[in-house]
Structure 1
Amino acid sequence: MRKIIFNPQYDTKCFIDYKRRGGTILDTQFVGKQGLLSELELRAGLTIAQIPTIERKASYLVALEEYISDNQNSMFRKSVQVDSFGVADELLSWRDRLVFAGWNGSITGISEKLDELSAIESHFSTIGDEDRWQRVLVEYSTKPILSNTTIEVHSEKEHLNPIYRHLLDTLSTQGVQIDYFTPQISKPKITVVEFDDLYDAYRWGATMPKEYLMICQNRKAFNNILSSYSEPTISSTLNDSNPSIIQLFKLGLSLFMRPLNIYNLLSYLQVAVNPVPSALRSELKSLLVDEGGFGDQEKGWNAIITNYIASLDLDKRKRNEGRIEDFLSMLSLNEAEIDRKRVLEYAKKLGSWALQRKAIEVDSSINEQLSLLSTFCNAMTKLLTNSKQEKISQQELKMLILAIYAPSSFVGSEAQKGSFNSVNSIENIADSVPKAIWIDCNGSLPVECDYSFLSKQEAQKLKESRVLIWDTTAQLQAAMAGIEYALGQIDEEIILVSSQNHNGEQLSQHPIITKYRKDDVASNPVPNCKSEQKPVTPLPSPQEKYQFAGKVSPRVKESFSSLDMLIKYPLDYALKYLAGLYKRGVAQLGQLERTKGNVAHRVIENLAKECDNNAYQMLQSYADNSDKCVEVATNQVGVILLLEENRIDFENFKRNLKEAVFALCGIIETNNLDIVSLESKLATLMIDEVILDSRMDMLLKNKSGEYIVFDLKWSSGKKQYEQIQDNSALQLAVYQYLCERNLGKVAAVGFYILPKTQLYTAHRNFVNTERRITVIEPKEEFDLMLQAMDSYKTRYEELGSGLAIVGEQNIYSDYQLFKAEVR
C-alpha cells in the first residue's frame, strides 16, 4: 500500500531517518501543501500548465482596469490611478485567500468591497494555486479516486487549516485511510543560548559537533561562517535572491530613463548571460570604467560599436548587428517621455531571447533564471499592449518595473560531505532525532492565511456563507502547536539559540523561547530548561608579514603609482604586479570626488586643445561656453554626475570648476608661462635598466626656458600640503626627475588644488599678485628621489628573500633607521 505523509510544512527538505525506515521508504511520499495538491491533481487527471505568479498579476490588472472603465464609481478607481499595479497585486492577494477558503464570484451581498471583487471575477480567468485547491475539492467530493493509499498526517487535526481538514474528511468518506500520527512525545533537555549578534551565534554553531541536526533559515550566511572555519557547508537555497540574469529585466528597461543611470548601464553590460555579444560588452565596460563616460568621438562608445561590427565576417555581422540595435539603441534616446511601442518591442525581444537561450542552455540554475526573465517580459508585454497611451512617463515605467520585478528563490548549493544534517524549519523534522540546534531561533509565529483585510462583520457573513475563514488566533495556536509537535520528535536535547541583533537591526525573541525559558518555570512543561551565555571562537588574526617562495625579478618598467605602492604596500605590490593577482569580478566606476577630478581634467584638456594651449583664449572660451564645456566633458568621463541624486552636488561642482579654471589661467598669464602640453608622458632609466615613466597633467615653460609642472587635484589639499611640508611628495619628485632627465632644468613643481583655486609648491619662482599660490617650506631638506630609489632597492631585497610586509609603510625620510628596524 502506498503511503503519503502530509504536513503543510513538508514542501521544503525534511529530516527523514532513512536507516530506521529501511525499505518502506520506497512506498512512502513526504509532501507539504504544494506536494499534496500536485499529487491529488495527478491522480484525478487535473494537471494543467501553471501560469507564473507575475503574469497572473498582470492579467488581474488588465481585468481590474476593464472593470473600472465600465464602473467609474468604483471604490478602487482613485487608488488605481495612483498605483495601478500595486492595487491589483493587493486585490489579487485578497481574492486568492478568499478563493482558498471557498469563496467565489457568485457570493454577493457581504459588503461593497467584496461585491466589487465578485464583479471583477467576470473579467478574470487565470487560475492560481487557490483555484486548483477548489477544483481538487470539487473533483474528489464527487467520486472515489485514490485507492490503495494511506495518508499519514503529521499534525493534530484541530490545528490544520480548515481546508485541509475538509479535504481529508472528504477523502476519508471515499475510503482513503487517514491516520493522524502522534509521536511518542519525549521530554528533551531544552537549553536557551543567547548571543548579542546573530553572526556570533553562527560562529558558535559552526564549531558544534556534527551529531546535532542544524535548524537554520539563513543558510547562505551560516555557510559563509562555516567556510571561514574550513568546515563543510550545508545545502542552501537563495531566498529573495536577485541573480544577475533576471536583473537584465529592470536594468535594460531602466536604460530608457533620463538622465541615464550609468551604474545601471555598467551592471547591464556585466551580466554574463547577455544578448549583447561578450567581446563588445568587454570593450564597452572598459570604456565606462576607464573613462567614467562615453569617451570622445574618435575612441568612444559609437566608435567601439562601429569597429566591432566592421570586424565581423558577413554571417556574424547579420546575426549580431540587429541584436546590438535591439539591446543598445535605447541609449541614443533623449526624450523626457518614452515611446511605449519602443519599450514594448524591447520587452518582447528580451523575452524571446530568454526563451531561445533557454533552449540551448544546459545549466539548470541558468535555465531557471531565464524562465523567470521571460515571465517578467511577458508581464510587461501584456501591460504595455493593453495600454492606450502612445507615450509613458519615466515615473510610470519605473512603477511598472518595480511592480513586476521581484526577488525569487533559487537553488544555492548542495550539502558537502561531512556537513551537518540540516533543515530550514523545526517543523521540517519528520522523524525522531537525538539532538538538534535551532541556530536562529528568533522572530514571530507565522500566519498561513492573513484575513486582516476583512472586517469582523465581513468575516462572520462569509462564515455564514460556508466560506472557511481561519481565525488569526487559531492560526497562531496552530503554529505554536506545530513547533511543539516537532519538539516531541527530538529525543535528547534541543538548543534554542537566540540573538539580539543582526546587521544593525534588533531581533525579536521567538515565542517558543518565551514559553520554555527557565524563569518561566512555574508554567514550564519542561523543568530542565536553562539559559546559557556561550563564548565565540574568534577567527584567526591577520599576519603582519608573509613569506613566499620563488625567484623575484624587478619589472622592466615602473610608474609613480607602482613605485609608490612598492614602497608603502609591499604585499599589495607583490600580489598585483608580480603575481598578477588583480581584483577580479564586478567592474566599478570611480568615486564621486574622483569623477569630479576626471571631469575637471577633461574640461581643461579640451579647452587647451581647442585654444592651442593659449591660457588667455582658454579663459575667454570658458567664460562664454562653460556649461557646454562641462556637458561635453561629463558625457566623456563623468556620467555619474548626471544622476538625480548628484544634481545639487553637480551644480556646486560647476560653480567651483569655473572659479578653478579662471584662477589657473590667471596664474599662467600673470607669471608669463606657456603651456607646453597636457597629459605629457615621459620616461627614463631609473635603476639597473628599470624604466620609470609617468604622465604629467600640465607641463609649462617660463620665459627663461625652464620647465614647470602642475599636477591638478580635486581634493581638500590637506594631504598634498602635508606631503610638501614633510618632503614626501613622491609624485612631484618623479615628475621633476623625468623632466630633468628628458627636457632640461625645472624651475618648479606643484599641486594645483582645483576646489581651493590654490597652487601648493615648495618653490618661490612665482608672481603671486592674487594670492593664488601657497609656498610651503619643507621641514627638512633631502633628495626625495634618491631616498625613493634606495627604498626601491631595499624593497626588492626583501621580496627577493621571500618577505612581504603587510600594511602601510612610510619610509621616505630617515630611511636607513627604518631599514634597520625592519631587519
Structure 2
Amino acid sequence: MKLVFGLEADSRVYPDFPGPGPGVLDEEVVGPRGLVGLLELQLGLSGPTKSEAVRIAAYAAKLQIVLAERKTVFFAASFSRDPWATAERLLHWRDNLVLAGWAGTAIGTSRADDLAAAEAAGNPLPFGFADRLAAVQRALASKRTLRVIEIEVIELPSSLPPHINELFKALTACGVTLNQRPVGQVAATGNDLAKVSKFLKEATIDPLVGDGSFMVVQADTALMAAEAVAEWLAAGSEADLNETVILAPGGDTALLDGALLARGLPTLGQSASSPWRGALQVLPLAFATIWKPFNPKPLLDLLLLPKPPIGFGAARTLAYALSKEPGIGGKAWNTAWERIEARQVEKEAAKGHTDAEARVAKKFKRWQQWTTVGQYDRHEGIPAEAAKAIASRVAQWAFATNSAKNDPLLFAVAAAATALVDAITVIGRESLPALLIERMIEQVLAEGAENPNHIAQSGGLRCIRHPAALWGTAKRVIWWNFTGPGERVRPPSEPWSKEELEALEKAGCRLASSADIARQVSAAYVNAAFRTSECLLLVRPSLSGSDETTSHPLAHQLMPILKASDHREIWQAEQILASAATNLSSRNLARQLSPQASLPKSRKAWTLPAAAIAKVKEREESPTGLENLVNCQMRWLLANVLGLSAGRFAEIPDTDQLLGNLAHEIASHVFKPGNVPDKDKMRADVGRIFDELVDAIAAPLNQPEHAGELIRARVHVPSSLAHLADYLRSKGLEVVGTELPRTADLGDLKIAGRLDMLVKNPEGVLGVIDLKWSHSARRRLTEITDGRAIQLAAYGTIADASTAGTADGAYYLLNQRRLIGQEGGLVSEEEVEVDKDLSQTWLDLISTWKSWRDQAIAGNAIAGGIEGVPEPPAGIGIPADEKPCKYCDYTSLCRVSTKGS
C-alpha cells in the first residue's frame, strides 16, 4: 500500500486520489487521523471510540478524586467553580503531553505531577487521538510488518509537528519508505505567479507586471465578490473547470454557490458545521425549560422549531397560547390543550379507531413531557437520572422522527443526546447544576452539523477547505474569502513555564513551540502559491455581513512585493457593474445592461376585488377595528376585514404588555359580581393570587432581569386595584361582571367586544370601565376631550343590547391610578371637560363607519397616510389622526414611506 500524507488531508483534498487515471487501487491520501486509523487496522488495535464529551466527563471524575485526596492541587479553585471547563482545558493539556511522548508519570514539577496523579486515579480514560497514536507507536516498537510500503509526505520535515516526525521514525524502522513530495512548479517562468512564488521562497522582489497569473480581487461585499468569481468562471470553458480549485477556508460556499447556480455552473455544496441548525436546538431547549424560575422563551423556541418534538399543529397552537399568556396553567394554555385534544380525537375517530380517546391520551402523555417546565433550581441542579431521562427522550424523538429518512441533522441530534447520557453516567455525580449541564450540552453539540440542504453538483470544479489540502498541482486556484485573522493555533507549550518544559523534555516529552506552530501555519499558506501552475486569484471582500474584514496573514507577507508593483495585480470587483466588458486574468467578463425597472409608487386609491367586498358585507366589527377604520380605511381592510398578519406569529410580549395583561387578569379574579370588597380585602386578595397568576400568564416577569418591574408590580397592582375598589364603594356601585362578551345587531352594523368591567348604580344605570396600562395618561385624556374615545363609545353601546343609548364609560389607568371620564359621568372619578359626549361620539362613529363601508362596497379603498389623498367621503364624523401611519404595520404595502416617488 502506498500513501500520500498531509497534515490537512483528513478532509477534502486535491487531487482526490493519487495517480493520473480515473481511479486507484491500494493507494490513498491520508492525514494524521487517517494514517493512525489505517495503522490501527493493520496492527489489530482498532476499537470503538468515545465522544469528546464522554472523555471530558471521565477526566472530570478523575480530577474530582485527585482533589479529594490532595487539597493543594493547582486546579482546585477553578474546578470548584466550573468543573467542566476546567476538565476540558486540562484534558487538552494532557493530550498534548501524551502526543509529545509523556508516559503519564510524575516528572518532578507540581502541575505535571498533579496531572500524573489524575492519570492514575479512578477508571481508565477513554482513548483520544493522542492515546491511539501512542498505542500505535508502542506496537511499532516491536518492528511489526505492515502492508504500507511507501509514504510520500507533502510537508517538509521542518513543518511537521514532533509527534508526526516520531511516528515516521517508527514507521521507517518497520521498513516503510518515506519520500518527500516535490513542490509543484509554475509552468511558465517569469510571469507574476512565478515571481510571487520566488518571493515567498527567497524573499527576492521582482516587480509584478499585472499579467493576470496572480491577482488580488477586492470587493466591497462578499456578494459582489461572489458575482465576480462566478462571472470569471463562466467566461471560461467547461474544460477549464476540471483543473480549477476553490479554496474556501471557512468551509461555507453558500453565497458563491448562489452566483454559480445563476450562471448554470455546478455548485460546490460546502457548508460550515454549526451547532445552531434547527433540529440540533431540541437538546439545549429541552433542558432550558426545566429551570426555576420558568422562562417561557426557550419553550416558545422549542415549539416554533421547523421540526418540533410534538405534532406540528399542536406545537403551533401552544406557541400561540404562550405568546398571548406566557406561562403554564393559564386560561389560554389550558384552552389550547383542550382544542388540541378535540382535534386529535376527531382525527383518530376519522381513521376508524374505536379507542380514539385512549390513543390520544397516550400521545398526550408523551407530548406533555416536553412541556413539564420549571422543576429544578439552577444552583441545586437536576438529579442525574432525570437529566439522562430528558437526553434519552431527545434521542428517542430524533430516532423516531428520522425513521427511514436518513436525515443527517437528526442523526447528529441522536448522537449528541446519546453522548450526553454517556457523559452524565461517566461523570458520576448525583446532581448536576445548570452551568454544568449547559457546558456538557455545548460540548456534545460542539461539532455541529452541516446544512443538509446544501448539496454539491456534479462538475469539474473542486473545493478544498485548507491551503495544505492542495497536494498536487492545480492550474487555477481561487482563494475564496481571503481574509484574516487566519488560523489561530495555540502552541502546546503555551501553558508551561521554562522550567516545566525542561523537565518534560528530560522525560522524553518535547512540545511544539510557538515557532514550530508558526512555521507549520506559514508553510500551509504559501503552499497554495507553490502548487498553482497558471493562475492564482485571492478574493477579499471588505465586508463580511456588516463587519469589516481584516487582512489575511499571507497578505501581510506579500505586502513588500505588492508595494513594489504599484498594486498592478489588484482588481476591483465592482468594475463589472460599471462597464460592458472588463478583463480579469486573461478572461473577458462581458455583461449586458438590463432594463431598469421603476420601483412601485405609493398609491392613494385601490380597487377591491369581489371577494374582499363580500367580506366587508358580512363583517362583524370590533371596537379595535372601528378605531382602525377611523384612522385609515386601508388599514381596516387589510387588518380587520382581510385578516392580513404582520408576520409575527408568536413572540413573548414586552414587559409593559405583560404587566397590563397581569393586571387585567387579576382584576377579573378579584372583582366578582356584586358588592365591591373594601380596599384592605382587595389588597389581600390581589396579594394572594399575584404569584400564581404571574406563573400562569406572565412568567417572564420572574426572570432576574425583570426583578425591578416585578417588585414594583407587587406593590403597584394591589394598590391600584384597591384604589379602584375604594372609589366604586364610595359611589355605591356594584360589579355586574368582568371580561364580559357582548354583541349588538344594529342593522347593517354588527358589533362584538369584551368589556373589562361593567358596573351599575342602585338604580340599575350601567357604566363601563376600560382598564389600561400605559406610561402616560396624555393619549386617553386627549381622546375623551376631543370626542375620539371610540372604544368607550362602542363598549357603552353594546353594554346592554336591550336598551337604546350609550352607557357612560371611563378609562382606569392602572399605572397612574387615575379613573378618567367625561364630565358628569357615572364612573368618572377624574372628570374631563369634553367637546362632545360618548353618545355623540357613537353617532359620529356610526356615520364614519357607514361612509367608509359604502366606499368599500363600491370597490374603493383609500390609503389615508398618502399625501394628496382624495377628500374623505361625505358623512365622516370623526376625522383621521394627524399621523395615521405612526403605529401601522402595512406602510410597505401602500408605500407611504415613498411619498415623492
Q: Which category of TM-score, normalised to the shorter sequence, fits these structures?
A: 0.7 to 0.9
Specify whether residues 527 and 698 from structure 1 end up closer, same or farther in structure 2 by C-alpha distance, changes over 3 A only: closer
| 2:660 is equivalent to residue 597 of structure 1 | yes
Post-superposition CA distance 1:630-651 (Å, at most 9, x none): 1232233111111222122101
Instruction: Count how many residue pairs are aligned between Structure 1 and Structure 2.
Output: 799
Specify whether residues 545 and 137 from structure 1 end up closer, same or farther in structure 2 by C-alpha distance, changes over 3 A only: farther
| 2:677 is equivalent to residue 617 of structure 1 | yes
How far apart, CA to CA, are the structure 2 residues paired with 1:503 and 1:476?
A: 30
Specify whether residues 450 and 191 from structure 1 end up closer, same or farther in structure 2 by C-alpha distance, changes over 3 A only: same
Contact 2:225 2:573 in 1 (8 A): no
SS of equivalent to 1:463: helix
Post-superposition CA distance 1:644-699 (Å, at most 9, x none): 22122101122222332133334434555443332222334578x67442223223
Equivalent in 237, 251, 270 of residue 271 of structure 2: 237
Matching residue of 1:379 = 423
What amino acid is aligned across from residue 675 of structure 1 in structure 2?
Answer: V
Unaligned runs of 5+ in 2: 187-192, 195-212, 234-244, 346-354, 579-595, 885-893
| 2:240 is equivalent to residue 181 of structure 1 | no
How far apart, CA to CA, are the structure 2 residues paired with 1:581 and 1:446?
A: 47
TM-score (structure 2 length as normaliser) = 0.75
| 2:795 is equivalent to residue 735 of structure 1 | yes
Equivalent in 723, 733, 736 of residue 676 of structure 1: 736
Post-superposition CA distance 1:564-618 (Å, at most 9, x none): 6677595896599748778487x43222211111100001000123xx243x316
Contact 2:687 2:718 in 1 (8 A): no
Contact 1:256 1:331 in 2 (8 A): yes
Equivalent in 454, 460, 481 of residue 414 of structure 1: 454
Contact 1:351 1:378 in 2 (8 A): no
How far apart, CA to CA, are the structure 1 residues paired with 2:69 and 2:867?
A: 72
What amino acid is aligned across from residue 183 of structure 2 in structure 1?
Answer: T
SS of equivalent to 1:597: helix
Specify whether residues 433 and 463 from structure 1 end up closer, same or farther in structure 2 by C-alpha distance, changes over 3 A only: farther
Per-residue deviation, 1:104: 1.9
Matching residue of 2:891 = none
Specify whether residues 222 and 335 from structure 1 end up closer, same or farther in structure 2 by C-alpha distance, changes over 3 A only: closer
Contact 2:162 2:510 in 1 (8 A): yes
Equivalent in 114, 117, 122 of residue 115 of structure 2: 117
Q: Which moved more, 1:86-95 or 1:276-285?
A: 276-285
Matching residue of 1:257 = 291
Equivalent in 471, 478, 485 of residue 527 of structure 2: 485
Specify whether residues 620 and 724 from structure 1 end up closer, same or farther in structure 2 by C-alpha distance, changes over 3 A only: same
Equivalent in 752, 776, 779 of residue 693 of structure 1: 752
How far apart, CA to CA, are the structure 1 residues paired with 2:136 and 2:552?
A: 36
Matching residue of 1:80 = 79
Contact 2:215 2:570 in 1 (8 A): yes
What amino acid is aligned across from residue 156 of structure 1 in structure 2?
Answer: L
Specify whether residues 409 and 397 from structure 1 end up closer, same or farther in structure 2 by C-alpha distance, changes over 3 A only: closer
Equivalent in 408, 420, 442 of residue 484 of structure 2: 442
Per-residue deviation, 1:798: 6.0
Specify whether residues 219 and 604 from structure 1 end up closer, same or farther in structure 2 by C-alpha distance, changes over 3 A only: farther
| 2:661 is equivalent to residue 640 of structure 1 | no
Specify whether residues 721 and 307 from structure 1 end up closer, same or farther in structure 2 by C-alpha distance, changes over 3 A only: same
Specify whether residues 719 and 635 from structure 1 end up closer, same or farther in structure 2 by C-alpha distance, changes over 3 A only: same
State how 1:17-166 maps to structure 2 within 5 Å. 21-24=20-23, 29-106=28-105, 108-123=106-121, 124-143=124-143, 145-147=145-147, 150-166=150-166
TM-score (structure 1 length as normaliser) = 0.81
How far apart, CA to CA, are the structure 2 residues paired with 1:135 and 1:21?
A: 35
Post-superposition CA distance 1:437-476 (Å, at most 9, x none): 5325121433265331111222233234332411112211
Contact 2:253 2:268 in 1 (8 A): no
What amino acid is aligned across from residue 235 of structure 1 in structure 2?
Answer: G
Specify whether residues 310 and 40 from structure 1 end up closer, same or farther in structure 2 by C-alpha distance, changes over 3 A only: same
Per-residue deviation, 1:706: 5.0
What amino acid is aligned across from residue 714 of structure 2 in structure 1?
Answer: K
Equivalent in 754, 775, 795 of residue 716 of structure 1: 775
Q: Which moved more, 1:416-425 or 1:183-192?
A: 416-425
How far apart, CA to CA, are the structure 2 residues paired with 1:805 and 1:26?
A: 76
Contact 2:246 2:463 in 1 (8 A): yes
Equivalent in 324, 327, 333 of residue 293 of structure 1: 327
How far apart, CA to CA, are the structure 2 residues paired with 1:724 and 1:77?
A: 68
Q: Which moved more, 1:545-554 or 1:368-377?
A: 545-554
Specify whether residues 227 and 287 from structure 1 end up closer, same or farther in structure 2 by C-alpha distance, changes over 3 A only: farther
Specify whether residues 581 and 14 from structure 1 end up closer, same or farther in structure 2 by C-alpha distance, changes over 3 A only: farther
Q: Which moved more, 1:281-290 or 1:509-518?
A: 281-290
How far apart, CA to CA, are the structure 2 residues paired with 1:179 and 1:575?
A: 73
Matching residue of 2:216 = 191
What amino acid is aligned across from residue 70 of structure 1 in structure 2?
Answer: E
What amino acid is aligned across from residue 386 of structure 2 in structure 1?
Answer: V
Matching residue of 1:657 = 717
Contact 2:396 2:414 in 1 (8 A): no
Post-superposition CA distance 1:534-558 (Å, at most 9, x none): 5898999975569999753343434
SS of equivalent to 1:446: coil
Per-residue deviation, 1:486: 0.9
SS of equivalent to 1:756: coil
How far apart, CA to CA, are the structure 2 residues paired with 1:231 and 1:773?
A: 71
Matching residue of 1:340 = 383
How far apart, CA to CA, are the structure 1 residues paired with 2:608 and 2:449?
A: 42
Per-residue deviation, 1:712: 1.7
Post-superposition CA distance 1:131-177 (Å, at most 9, x none): 11222333345446554765443333321222223334444552345
What amino acid is aligned across from residue 226 of structure 2 in structure 1?
Answer: G
Post-superposition CA distance 1:319-343 (Å, at most 9, x none): 5576468655565678994563653
Q: Which moved more, 1:626-635 or 1:91-100?
A: 626-635
Contact 1:44 1:139 in 2 (8 A): yes
State how 1:279-428 maps to structure 2 within 5 Å. 284-296=318-330, 300=334, 313=356, 316=359, 320=363, 323=366, 331=374, 337=380, 340=383, 343-344=386-387, 346-347=389-390, 349-350=392-393, 353=396, 357=400, 360=403, 362=405, 363-383=407-427, 386-387=428-429, 392=431, 406-412=445-451, 413-415=453-455, 422-428=463-469
How far apart, CA to CA, are the structure 2 residues paired with 1:733 and 1:692?
A: 12
Specify whether residues 711 and 284 from structure 1 end up closer, same or farther in structure 2 by C-alpha distance, changes over 3 A only: same
Matching residue of 1:209 = 230
Contact 2:622 2:752 in 1 (8 A): yes
Per-residue deviation, 1:372: 0.8
Contact 2:282 2:309 in 1 (8 A): no
Contact 2:625 2:640 in 1 (8 A): no
SS of equivalent to 1:409: coil
How far apart, CA to CA, are the structure 1 residues paired with 2:816 and 2:131?
A: 69
| 2:496 is equivalent to residue 454 of structure 1 | yes
SS of equivalent to 1:411: coil
How far apart, CA to CA, are the structure 2 residues paired with 1:794 and 1:158?
A: 84
How far apart, CA to CA, are the structure 1 residues paired with 2:140 and 2:636?
A: 70
Per-residue deviation, 1:127: 0.6
Specify whether residues 360 and 111 from structure 1 end up closer, same or farther in structure 2 by C-alpha distance, changes over 3 A only: same
How far apart, CA to CA, are the structure 2 residues paired with 1:152 and 1:806?
A: 74
How far apart, CA to CA, are the structure 2 residues paired with 1:18 and 1:29?
A: 6
Specify whether residues 569 and 239 from structure 1 end up closer, same or farther in structure 2 by C-alpha distance, changes over 3 A only: farther
Contact 1:284 1:301 in 2 (8 A): no
SS of equivalent to 1:698: strand
| 2:651 is equivalent to residue 588 of structure 1 | yes
Matching residue of 2:350 = none
